[in-house]
Structure 1
Amino acid sequence: MAHMGHTCSSLRTLKGLSMSPESTPSGTSANEYFSALLRVLTNVMESQSEPIARAADVLARAVAKGGILHTFGTGHSHLIAEELYYRAGGLVSVNPILFDALMLHRDPTLSTNLERLSGLAEVILKSETISPLDVALVISNSGANAVSVEIAEDLHRRGVSVIGITSLTHANSSESRAGASRRLHEIADIVIDNGGVVGDAIVTVEGFDQRVAPTSTALGAAIANAIVAQTVANLVAMGHHPRVYTSANTEGGDAANAESHQFAPSKKKAQ
């Protein structure tokens, strides 16, 4: 990837200076989180460059042929699915698969129960237009919830290339919740490991018996946007001029986005 070597070198320098909690400037839990997040992000950049490159290659070829990117996640993972939609600097060819009851703004307990419900994926996908030309990005930190797994399985059966973002450490852990027949990483065509720890939270506070501050959202958003960045670069190298949104809070942004949005995938009203 362009400029990857320079970036890796810069982050390795940072890693050598301040990656351990003991070396944070003030020893605060806030700085411990930043240091831990940077350490994991550096590891993702170095260890996951190959699947990220493959994901971008598959997506670029799909978009060049008129395909789109479907994104899906439940609970907090839906934030990453929505991150790529109608986003400044983001591809226009994105369709987030959104289902209100699987989000957190209505009832987080209901969302948690529903994401484990086998059969719901089939109902959700009935409202979506899917083509074998398309690509899907499915995000699940645990990789175990039935809806995410079955969304990936269903789309895979339809000939859609499935990219999965997950924590392999969590998915393969003995502490991972039992009951899932398959995990996301066993289904996805391309698996990107977000490098997260079991349970997601990464900071230990002295005198407190639980870890705090999760990493999956920050890492997932970084991975997703890295795929977009490389996809656009690939499309340009192929001689295309991909449609990308601009910030609505810049001069001419509204007009530019209105023009681009005419070419966006048709989005039905969320259930």
Structure 2
Amino acid sequence: MLSNELLVVYRELLDSIEQKQLPTINKVAEIAAQSVAGGGSVYIHDRGHLLNYELFNRSGGLALLKHLHLAAATGEGIQGELDAAAATIPASSMRKGDILILGSVSGRAASVVELAQQARNHGMVTIALTALDYTSQIPSLHPSGKRLFEVCEHVLDIMTLKGDAALDAEGMEERILPTSGFTSAVVGWCFIAQLIENMLAKGLVPSVYRSVSMPGGMEQIEATNKRHKELGY
């Protein structure tokens, strides 16, 4: 069954993340915890879209995470992407020392590379969430020729292979079933887990959401948002 084959691939990827990425995840989470302890914020800009939903407003998730949306493009093509990225940081509430996690499976888009460069120029800490095997085999669309992992200070590898799709199937010309959503979620939540652990070690108890479907859920969410607004975490 194809579903069994897919689960084999997912288990292999999960093992690879555990064996190869957890030390880096913990290192990056400690940097983020230090930023939060100093009054900083953690922003996420995900070109792959999944983390824009997966990590936000979830039961057991952190209230401190913030979206960074790309500014509206006023031009077309690559130049339009570059201009939008250049306008994003100045128009945001980001400050020097804040954390910016940039998610892009291929890491080649002009906008995400430019956004990383702009963030570094403004003193933010940049973290790429990307697939190193995949991105190392394809050209960048940014004028510099650089990909996301080459312009960020830190890199979290989601371990997805080139092309993303997991399986060959008889009768199918194209490979099927993507892996990047699964691995992005796993790496993202492992980062959150270590961020929580490192914050607790510093005496900071982060504001965490309860499911809205649990007793008192809506009231707890409102209280969590109020606490986060007061404390910053």
Unaligned 5+ segments in structure 1 are 1-27, 103-112, 266-271
Residue 185 of structure 1 pairs with residue 158 of structure 2: no
For residues 129-178 of structure 1, give each alpha carbon's deviation from its aligned partner in whole angstroms, at most 9, with x where no partner exists: 111131011001111101111111111111111111111111111xx245
Residue 194 (1) aligns with residue 158 (2): yes
Q: Report the Cα distance in structure 2 between the residues aligned to 1:247 and 1:100, rounded to whole angstroms.
A: 31
What secondary structure does 2:113 align onto? helix
Residue 19 of structure 1 corresponds to which residue in structure 2?
none
The answer on whether the counterparts of 1:115 and 1:147 sit within 8 Å (CA) in structure 2 is no
- Structure 1 residue 239 corresponds to structure 2 residue 217: no
Q: CA offset at residue 82 of structure 1?
A: 3.2
* Unpaired runs of at least 5, structure 2: none
Q: CA RMSD in A?
A: 2.1
Q: Does 1:229 align with 2:206?
A: no
- Give a deviation string over 1:220-263, Cα, whole Å, max 9, x none: 11111111111111111111211111211111111111012135
Q: Secondary structure at the match of 2:155?
A: strand
Kindly state the Cα deviation for residue 51 of structure 1 after the two structures are TM-superposed.
Answer: 1.2
User: How far 1:116 sits from its partner (Å)?
Assistant: 8.2
Q: Give me the whole-angstrom Cα distance separating, in 2, the residues matched to 1:156 and 1:126.
A: 13
Aligned residues: 224
Code of the residue aligned with 2:22 in structure 1: it is S
Q: Provide the rounded CA distance (Å) in 2 between the counterparts of 1:261 and 1:141.
A: 31
* Bigger mean CA deviation after superposition, 142-151 or 79-88: 79-88
Q: Structure 1 residues 100, 32: closer, same or farther in 2, change over 3 A?
A: farther
User: CA offsets per residue over residues 68-121 of structure 1, 9 Å max, x none?
Assistant: 1110022xx12213322222211111111235989xxxxxxxxxx679832221
| Secondary structure at the counterpart of residue 228 of structure 1 | helix
Following the alignment from structure 1 to structure 2, what is the Cα–Cα distance between the partners of residues 91 and 41?
23
Contact kept in structure 2, 1:55 and 1:190, CA below 8 Å: yes
Alignment CA distance shift 1:101-1:45 (3 Å)? farther
Q: TM-score, normalised by structure 2?
A: 0.89
Q: Paired residue for 1:50, among 13, 20, 23?
A: 23
Q: Secondary structure at the match of 1:137?
A: strand
Q: Aligned partners of 1:82, 1:187: CA distance in 2, in Å? A: 25
Structure 1 residue 125 and structure 2 residue 96: aligned? no
Structure 2 CA distance for partners of 1:244 and 1:178, relative to 1, 3 Å: closer
From 105, 113, 132, the equivalent of 1:168 is 132
Partner residue of 1:145? Answer: 109
Is the Cα–Cα contact under 8 Å of residues 42 and 65 in structure 2 kept in the other structure? Answer: yes
Q: Is the 8 A contact 1:82 1:96 kept in 2?
A: no
Match in the other structure for 1:11 = none
Look up the match of 1:21: none
Query: 2:51 is matched by which residue type in structure 1?
Result: I
> 2:6 matched to which residue of 1?
33
